[in-house]
Structure 1
C-alpha cells in the first residue's frame, strides 16, 4: 500500500495537471466560442478515455459490475449522481466569470470555497466515516495556504475587486462543490476497490446534466451558440480528454487516504507550481511572470507540511481491516 506521504506528493502532481487542464479548457472555450460547448466536449472525451481504460483492465470491469450491482440493490446512495454536475459547475464558473473578475480573483474565491468545504468535511467526518479534526495549528495552516493564494494572485488583481457581486457566491459555491465531488468519488472507490467506477459515474451523470441543460436551452431558443461551438470540434481536441480522467481517477484514490483538506492543499500547491511552469513554457496572451506565484506556492507548500505534521487530532489511526468489497478479475 502506498504511504500517505507518497500520496500527498502525488496530489501535488495532480494539482499541476489541473493547472494544465484549466489552460486547455480556457483555450477550448475561446476556440469554440462557448464555455458550455467546451465543457460538453471535455466531459465526452473524458468519458471515452475512462471507458477505454476500463475495458482493457479486468479488475476495472469487475469493479464496474460491482458498482452497478450496488446501485441496483440500493447499497450505493442516490447522491452519487451529484458527482458529475458538481464537477461541471467548476468548469462553467470558470468560463462564465473569468472574463468578468479575472483569473486571479477567480482563483482566490474558488480556492477559498474549496478550503472551507474540505476542512469542514474532514473536521466533522461527514463522509468516508473518518474525522480529522483541525487543531489550532491546522487552522493556522489553512489561513497560511489562503494567504499564499492571495500572494500569488495579488500582482494580477488590478481593479477586478470592483466587479464581484453575485459572482463571488457563484465561484465560492463552485469551490465548495469541487471538494464534495472528489469526496464522493473517493467513497465510490472505497466501496468498489477501484477508481474507474467513480470516474465513469462522474462523466455519465455530468454528461446527462449537460444534455438536459442543453435541451432546455434549445427549447427556450437560446442553445444555438452551443450547437455552433460543437460544430467547431477538431481532431486534436482528443488531447483534452486525457487530463480529466487522470485527475478524477487519481483524486478518487488519494482523497480516501489523506483526507479532503490535505488533498485540497496539495492541489492548490501543485496548481500554483503548474501555473508558474506554464507561464514560462506555454504563456497565454498577456501572461507576465509575477513574483507572487513562487512566493504563494512556497507558502502553500509550507502550510501543507504543517497540516500533515501537526494539523489534525487525534492523529489519523488505522481503522481496522479494509472493509471494501473485494473485486475479482474476469
Structure 2
C-alpha cells in the first residue's frame, strides 16, 4: 500500500487528539484532582478496546510471536503517558508554551532519529538531509505557536522555589518517550497480532498507574457543584485521543515514525490553533496572530519535506 493513502487518517487522528486535549482540560477543571481526571479519561479507553477485542477475538498471537516480542513493547502506553504526567505536574510551573514547545520538538527529532537509525525494529533509512531540515522547520514552527499559547487560565505556582528551567531536561525526555511509545506500540501490535488486544494491553497499565496514584493521593475531591458542570462529552476525551494511539499501532511501520508523528503533531497543533482562535470546547480564546500563523506555515512546510523525502 502507498503510505500516502494513510495520511488523511493520520491527520484526522491528530485533529481528534487536539480535541481530546482540550476536552481533557475541561474534565480536569471539573474533577479537581488531576489523577482522578486522568483515571476517568483513560478508563473508557480500556473498556472500549477490551469490548472490541471480545467481539473480534481473532486473530490471536501464537507462542512464536509472543516469544519474539521485545521486552519493552508492553510499555508503549506507559512511555507515552510520561508526557501526560509531565503536563499534570509541570505545566503550571514552566508554562504551556515552553512545555508544549519542548515536548513536541523532542518528539519530532526523536522520531527522525529512530527512522534514520532503524531503532526498535524500524527499517533504517539512513541520514537524509531534507527530512531533518523539515524536522527543524517543524521545531521552529512549534516554538512560534507555543510561545503564544495561553496557560489555559491556570495559576502559576510562585512558591515552589524551583527554577523552571531545571525541569526542561525532564520535559525533553518526556517528549522523546512520547515518540518512542508510538514505535513500541507498533512492536506490541506486531507481537499480539490482534490490534484490539494490543490497544487494550497498551492502555491497561496506564489506567492502573493513574488509579493507583489517585488512591494514594485522593484529595482534593470534586464537590457536587463541580460534578454538576461535567458535560456528557468530557469523559470521552481519552477515547478521542486514543484514535492517534490506535493509528500508531497500525501505521507506524508503513509510513515511518518521522512522517507519522510529524503529520500527527501538525494536525494536532493546527487544530489547537483553531480551537483557541474560536474558543471552542470551552477553551480560553486566543486569536491566531502572525506568530501562530507563521508557525503553522513552517510546520506544514516541514511535514512536506519529511513526507516527500
TM, length-normalised to structure 2: 0.84
**Contact kept in structure 2, 1:38 and 1:229, CA below 8 Å:** no
Q: Which residue of 2 aligns with 1:318?
A: none
1:105: which partner in 2? 98
* Matching of residue 265 in structure 1 with residue 258 in structure 2: no
For structure 1, which runs of at least 5 residues remain unmatched after alignment? 311-330
User: What RMSD in Å do the two structures reach over aligned CA positions?
Assistant: 2.7
Against the structure 1 CA distance between its residues 138 and 230, is the aligned structure 2 distance closer, same or farther, given a 3 Å change threshold?
farther
Structure 2 residues without counterparts, runs of 5 or longer = 157-161
What is the 5 A alignment of 1:255-294? 255-279=252-276, 280=278, 282=280, 284-285=283-284, 287-294=286-293
- The answer to whether the aligner puts 1:189 opposite 2:183 as a matched pair is no
Whole-angstrom CA distance in 1 between matches of 2:257 and 2:147: 26
Query: Distance between the aligned counterparts of 1:91 and 1:106, measured in 2?
Result: 11
Are residues 129 and 241 of structure 1, via their aligned partners in 2, closer, same or farther at CA, if it must alter by over 3 Å?
Answer: closer
- Residue 75 of structure 1, aligned match among 68, 74, 77: 68
The change in CA–CA distance for 1:235 and 1:303 in structure 2 (over 3 A counts) is closer
Q: SS at the partner of 1:225?
A: coil
**Distance in 2 between residues matched to 1:225 and 1:70, nearest whole Å:** 46
In structure 1, distance between residues paired with 2:24 and 2:61: 33
How many residue pairs end up in the alignment? 294
CA separation in 1, counterparts of 2:143 and 2:100?
Answer: 9
Matched residue, 2:50: 51
**C-alpha contact (below 8 Å) 1:123/1:133 kept by paired residues:** yes
Equivalence for 1:179: 179
Contact 2:103-2:174 at 8 Å conserved across structures? yes
Partners of 1:144 and 1:167 in 2: CA distance:
25
Q: Which of 62, 66, 79 is the aligned partner of 2:61?
A: 66
Instruction: Report the equivalent of 1:95.
Output: 88
1:219-257 Cα distance to aligned partner (Å, 9 max, x none):
xxxx1316x259976582442242133221112112111
Deviation string, structure 1 residues 194-222 (Cα, Å, up to 9, x no partner): 4222211111121233344445xx3xxxx
Whole-angstrom CA distance in 1 between matches of 2:304 and 2:268: 16
Question: Shift in Å at residue 101 of structure 1?
Answer: 2.2
Structure 1 position 23 matched with structure 2 position 16: no
Q: Which residue of the partner structure matches residue 248 of structure 2?
A: 251
* Corresponding residue number in structure 2 for 1:203: 203
In structure 2, the residue matched to 1:143 is 136
Structure 1 contact 80–201 (Cα < 8 Å) conserved: no
2:210, 2:175 → 1: CA distance? 19
Secondary structure at 1:243's aligned position in 2? helix
Task: Name the CA distance, whole Å, in 1 between partners of 2:186 and 2:21.
Answer: 22
Paired residue secondary structure (1:224): coil
1:168 aligned residue: 168
Q: Helix, strand or coil: the match of 1:133?
A: coil
Secondary structure of the structure 1 residue equivalent to 2:249 = helix
Distance 2:24 2:163 in 1: 23
The normalised TM-score by structure 1 is 0.79
Separation in structure 2 between the aligned mates of residue 209 and residue 281 of structure 1, nearest angstrom: 32
Rounded to whole Å, the distance in 1 between the matches of 2:166 and 2:198 is 32
Question: CA shift at 1:48, angstroms?
Answer: 0.9
1:9 alignment counterpart: 8
SS in 1 for 2:287: coil
Distance 1:75-1:136 versus aligned 2 partners, 3 A rule: closer
